[in-house]
């Protein structure tokens, strides 16, 4: 599991006194960036190959509030994949209370950005990293889900 830690800055808080909804997604986006880098698809991969991951489907459920100064973690697992997609499951957690604040699920698609963009399978070296991460992250089905059905429909 990948874990990204941040403290909620005051600039992320709205007039209701809690973290704006967009910053939950931003925190997940930062975790996605780290995940892409660890899977061999970071900025240098894009520069060298013209290939990257695009967000195909992104769903979030807000469960509890985060407030300024809260220590947060985005805990991310790769829960499914195929030849050209990865399905990420992320919990945003308050590190002090361990309360789950939000759950995000995203499907990212491997694309040739410079050639269209158009979807294409992972190259063998990236596919090996994706498979290894999926094996490392394997475990029970996540308890908290977004309610999205068919995020990774086979054959799609």
pLDDT score recorded for residue 92 = 97
Structure tokens at 128: 């090996």
150: in domain: no
CB contact at 8 A, 151 and 82:
no
Identify the CATH number of the domain in which residue 114 sits.
3.10.129.10
33: in domain: yes
146: in domain: no
Residue range 50-68: mean pLDDT, rounded: 95
pLDDT score recorded for residue 145 = 79
Confidence check: pLDDT of 153 > 60: no
Query: Vertex 57, ends 54 and 58: CA angle to 5°?
Result: 100
Number of domains in the chain: 1
Q: In the chain, which residue ranges form alpha helices assigned H by DSSP?
A: 21-38, 43-49, 124-137
Q: How far apart are the first and last CA of the chain?
A: 26
63: in domain: yes
Q: Percent of the chain having pLDDT more than 70? A: 94
145: in domain: no
**C-alpha to C-alpha distance for 136 and 153, rounded to whole angstroms:** 22
List pLDDT tens digits, range 8-34: 999 999 999 999 999 999 999 999 999
């Amino acid at each position: 599991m990948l874990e990204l830690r941040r403290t909620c800055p005051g600039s992320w808080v709205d007039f209701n006194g809690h973290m704006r909804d967009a910053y939950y997604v931003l925190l997940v986006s930062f975790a996605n960036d780290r995940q892409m880098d660890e899977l061999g698809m970071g900025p240098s991969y894009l520069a060298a190959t013209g290939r990257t991951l695009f967000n195909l489907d992104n769903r979030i459920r807000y469960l509890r509030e985060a407030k300024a100064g809260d220590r947060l973690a985005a805990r991310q697992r790769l829960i499914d994949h195929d030849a050209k997609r990865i399905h990420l499951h992320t919990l945003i957690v308050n590190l002090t209370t361990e309360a789950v604040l939000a759950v995000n699920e995203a499907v990212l698609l491997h694309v040739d950005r410079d050639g269209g963009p158009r979807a294409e399978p992972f190259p063998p070296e990236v596919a090996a990293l994706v498979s290894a991460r999926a094996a490392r992250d394997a475990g029970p089905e996540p308890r908290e889900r977004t309610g999205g059905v068919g995020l990774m429909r086979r054959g799609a």
